[in-house]
Chains A and B, each alone.
Chain A
Amino acid sequence: MRKNTTGPDSVDNKQKIHDIMSRYSHRRKIVDKMVSIFSIACVLAAIIPLGSILLEVIKNGASAISIQLLTQQPGAIGATLEDSGGIAPAIQGTLIVVGLASAIGVPIGILAGIYLSEFAPGNGLLPSAVRLFNDVLTGLPSVVIGIVGYITIVLAIGSFSVLAGAFSLSIIMIPIVVRITEETLKIVPNSIREAGYSLGISRWKITLFVVLKSAKSGVLTGIVLAISRIAGETAPLIMTILGTSLFFTSFDKPIDALPLRIWRLASQPYDTAHSQGWGAALLLIIIVLMASVVLRLLVQRKGFRVKALQV
């Protein structure tokens, strides 16, 4: 606390501190302003490319979207607009492959995240190893994962297939879901778990019905992020589902997907194809957006929004 506030020195010191403070107060206002201008500039720098891409896709793609595009199989290459068909198999394929990949990847990812956050003993060997490999997996180029899908499933079945594609995409998905689940569960305050323990509720029930439920917003963000990521993957799909003009027939047969179709259409030298490509790109964006909205609605349909984590 303050001592000897009455001495002659202290008056001088008071004056000194006051002078310095008022000088800094002037500088502080300028620095404040500069920092906020700089952050706004950074936000713009980040938004402009995003916005311009979105605008470009909408501008070129919106006119291409038609009933024909949405419902027909691709027509002959280089055909006129009426005969050029649509991208229906690609839409169907993306929904099937991404859906199947999520069905494999989401449960595994969430359970692994739960293990790391709730059950793993501190810094034991297994959790450390899981975290390390998970991080490595996050950084693995997707084309490498495509090759893994090719070697393990395509060669085993003897055909490019839906299964191989879903397998590869789920491997891309898992590390994202694991990481975000673990981080989100760790934010849930321990007092909530203790409240559960104190009622004699078994641990797995507390984990699923109390902890995971409290963290569902965050976990959901992880899932949406992972789905958006895999929905746009192209490289692993070339090596696993190959792409086709036909609709889905069986899980061990090739299938089409939107990113593959966009890539094929873009590499053709015809304006009709390019226009359809833009349309497909816009559609992919809309599908990802809708998936995220629908997931949020589904999970938060019951009850109220989670305000709890801010306490």
Chain B
Amino acid sequence: MICGLTADEAIHDRLLKEVEPVKKDRDHDQQVLPKYKVSIRNLDGWFGTKQVLKNINLDIKPNVATAIIGPSGCGKTTLIRCLNRMHEMTPGATAKGHVVIDDINIYDKAVDPVIIKRRVGMVFQKPNPFPTMSVYDNAAAGLKLNGIKDKRLINDIVEESLKGAALWDEVKNELDKPGMGLSGGQQQRLCIARALAMQPEVLLMDEPTSALDPIASSKIEDLVHELKKDLTIITVTHNMTQAARVSDYTAFMYLGELIEYGPTNQIFKNPQKELTERYISGKFG
């Protein structure tokens, strides 16, 4: 998770001191909430005693794709894992703060983290279809294992999800083949279909193309464009050109802090912070 940074630490320290804290003066009362799908307030995250997220504040509009970029170990994966309360599943990992999705604070004590995971889909770095299940069963797993028994409903949703993940045409004749038998890119789209079957409104993607070849990656990127018509997508990526291609908004993180957040165009063409500019132009990271 936390990789060592190879770049010159002294320069980084100096730069970090120049970074202003993220503005907290933005009004986030009730009238603002409907405008945003996801609002993160004062979010801190730890692995044991090591703080990996430092006071993150971020508002994400509905039906946009947001890319989170930053060097290894900057906390971007931890950040999205906090948005469906997956972070705390790792032994020793904790998080504190407010994450409001629609108008529910998912870190409220009364909220069941299992319910949150049903509403917020997640796609992982490495394709991870369920190994013993067929293509069909993989897409249906979320429904079946959550107690939905209506066969026709499951059939409909499986087809809809596989179509949504642009996989249907490739697998419609071999739905009973093992999910692991598909190619890497197909497996990843199967994982997206599996997440879509739960009818999420927010989809988190953790470097979804880092294990795929360029052609498979570009299919996933096209998919992001399609999916954001119905979904709010937050994707972590190492690949800056990918961030520029797929996202409407980009957040740049460094050493656990959110350095800059804004429309992707602005972040890439006219970054406000020196640190962002240095990272975008490949001077470190």
A213 to B131, CA, bound (A): 9
**Shortest distance between the CB of A234 and any CB in chain B (Å):** 39
The 8 A CB mask of A206-232 against B (1 = contact, 0 = none) is: 100110011010000000000000000
Question: Inside 8 A of B153's CB, which chain A residues have their CB?
Answer: none
Question: Inside 8 A of B134's CB, which chain A residues have their CB?
Answer: 303
Q: Contacts A199-B195, A205-B145 given; indicate if A311 touches B180 (C-beta within 8 A).
A: yes
Instruction: Answer whether residue B33 sits at the interface, using C-beta atoms and an 8 A cutoff.
Output: no
Instruction: Answer whether residue A48 sits at the interface, using C-beta atoms and an 8 A cutoff.
Output: no
Could you tell me if A200 and B124 are in contact, using CB atoms closer than 8 angstroms?
Answer: no
A216 to B195, CA, bound (A): 25
Contact of A304 among B89, B129, B141, B178 (CB under 8 A): B178
Could you tell me if A199 and B198 are in contact, using CB atoms closer than 8 angstroms?
Answer: yes
Instruction: Answer whether residue A77 sits at the interface, using C-beta atoms and an 8 A cutoff.
Output: no
A192 to B129, CA, bound (A): 7
| Residue ID in chain B nearest A189 by CB atoms | B128
Contact of A200 among B91, B115, B130, B180 (CB under 8 A): B115
Chain A: interface residue total (CB-CB under 8 A): 28
**Shortest distance between the CB of B171 and any CB in chain A (Å):** 16
Instruction: Answer whether residue B186 sits at the interface, using C-beta atoms and an 8 A cutoff.
Output: no
Considering only residues 278-311 of chain A, those with a C-beta below 8 Å from chain B are 303-304, 306-309, 311
Could you tell me if A194 and B145 are in contact, using CB atoms closer than 8 angstroms?
Answer: no
| Residue ID in chain A nearest B125 by CB atoms | A191
Instruction: Answer whether residue B173 sits at the interface, using C-beta atoms and an 8 A cutoff.
Output: no
Instruction: Answer whether residue B146 sits at the interface, using C-beta atoms and an 8 A cutoff.
Output: yes
Could you tell me if A197 and B86 are in contact, using CB atoms closer than 8 angstroms?
Answer: yes
Question: Inside 8 A of B195's CB, which chain A residues have their CB?
Answer: 198-199
A202 to B117, CA, bound (A): 10
Could you tell me if B180 and A194 are in contact, using CB atoms closer than 8 angstroms?
Answer: no
Considering only residues 19-72 of chain B, those with a C-beta below 8 Å from chain A are none
Question: Inside 8 A of A269's CB, which chain B residues have their CB?
Answer: none
| Residue ID in chain A nearest B126 by CB atoms | A191
Q: Contacts A197-B117, A198-B122, A304-B178 given; indicate if A214 touches B132 (C-beta within 8 A).
A: yes
Question: Inside 8 A of B189's CB, which chain A residues have their CB?
Answer: none
Could you tell me if B180 and A191 are in contact, using CB atoms closer than 8 angstroms?
Answer: no
Instruction: Answer whether residue A122 sits at the interface, using C-beta atoms and an 8 A cutoff.
Output: yes
Instruction: Answer whether residue A11 sits at the interface, using C-beta atoms and an 8 A cutoff.
Output: no
**Shortest distance between the CB of A40 and any CB in chain B (Å):** 35
Q: Contacts A191-B126, A194-B124 given; indicate if A199 touches B131 (C-beta within 8 A).
A: no
| Residue ID in chain A nearest B145 by CB atoms | A201
Question: How many of chain B's residues touch chain A, expressed as a range?
Answer: 20 to 34
Could you tell me if B91 and A122 are in contact, using CB atoms closer than 8 angstroms?
Answer: yes
Could you tell me if B124 and A195 are in contact, using CB atoms closer than 8 angstroms?
Answer: yes
Between B84, B86, B115, B145, the greatest number of chain A beta carbons within 10 A of the residue's beta carbon is seen for: B145
User: Using a Cβ cutoff of 8 Å, how many contacts connect chains A and B?
Assistant: 83
Could you tell me if B126 and A307 are in contact, using CB atoms closer than 8 angstroms?
Answer: no
Contact of B131 among A200, A209, A308 (CB under 8 A): A308
Instruction: Answer whether residue B97 sits at the interface, using C-beta atoms and an 8 A cutoff.
Output: no
The 8 A CB mask of A153-197 against B (1 = contact, 0 = none) is: 000000000000000000000000000000000000101101111
A311 to B126, CA, bound (A): 11
A196 to B84, CA, bound (A): 13
Q: Contacts A194-B124, A200-B114 given; indicate if A306 touches B142 (C-beta within 8 A).
A: no
A200 to B113, CA, bound (A): 8
Instruction: Answer whether residue B75 sits at the interface, using C-beta atoms and an 8 A cutoff.
Output: no
Could you tell me if A210 and B130 are in contact, using CB atoms closer than 8 angstroms?
Answer: yes
Contact of B118 among A194, A199, A209, A213 (CB under 8 A): A199
| Residue ID in chain A nearest B141 by CB atoms | A199
**Shortest distance between the CB of B106 and any CB in chain A (Å):** 12
Instruction: Answer whether residue B191 sits at the interface, using C-beta atoms and an 8 A cutoff.
Output: yes
Question: Inside 8 A of A304's CB, which chain B residues have their CB?
Answer: 178
A196 to B122, CA, bound (A): 10
A19 to B84, CA, bound (A): 60
Instruction: Answer whether residue B185 sits at the interface, using C-beta atoms and an 8 A cutoff.
Output: no
A208 to B7, CA, bound (A): 45
| Residue ID in chain A nearest B121 by CB atoms | A198
Could you tell me if B131 and A306 are in contact, using CB atoms closer than 8 angstroms?
Answer: yes
Could you tell me if B126 and A214 are in contact, using CB atoms closer than 8 angstroms?
Answer: no
A311 to B195, CA, bound (A): 21
Could you tell me if B145 and A213 are in contact, using CB atoms closer than 8 angstroms?
Answer: no
**Shortest distance between the CB of B64 and any CB in chain A (Å):** 21
Q: Contacts A194-B86, A194-B89, A195-B191 given; indicate if A200 touches B146 (C-beta within 8 A).
A: yes
A307 to B133, CA, bound (A): 11
A213 to B126, CA, bound (A): 20
Instruction: Answer whether residue B194 sits at the interface, using C-beta atoms and an 8 A cutoff.
Output: yes
28 A-B pairs within 8 Å (CB atoms) are namely A189-B128, A195-B128, A195-B191, A196-B130, A197-B86, A197-B117, A198-B84, A199-B118, A199-B141, A199-B142, A199-B194, A200-B115, A200-B119, A200-B146, A201-B141, A201-B145, A201-B146, A210-B130, A210-B132, A214-B130, A214-B131, A216-B132, A303-B178, A306-B132, A307-B131, A307-B178, A308-B131, A309-B131
- Please list the 10 inter-chain residue pairs (A to B) with the smallest Cβ-Cβ separation, ordered nearest first: A308-B131, A200-B118, A199-B142, A200-B117, A198-B122, A191-B128, A201-B145, A213-B132, A195-B128, A214-B131
Given A196-B141, A200-B142, 5 additional A-B pairs, CB 8 A: A195-B128, A198-B84, A198-B117, A205-B145, A308-B180
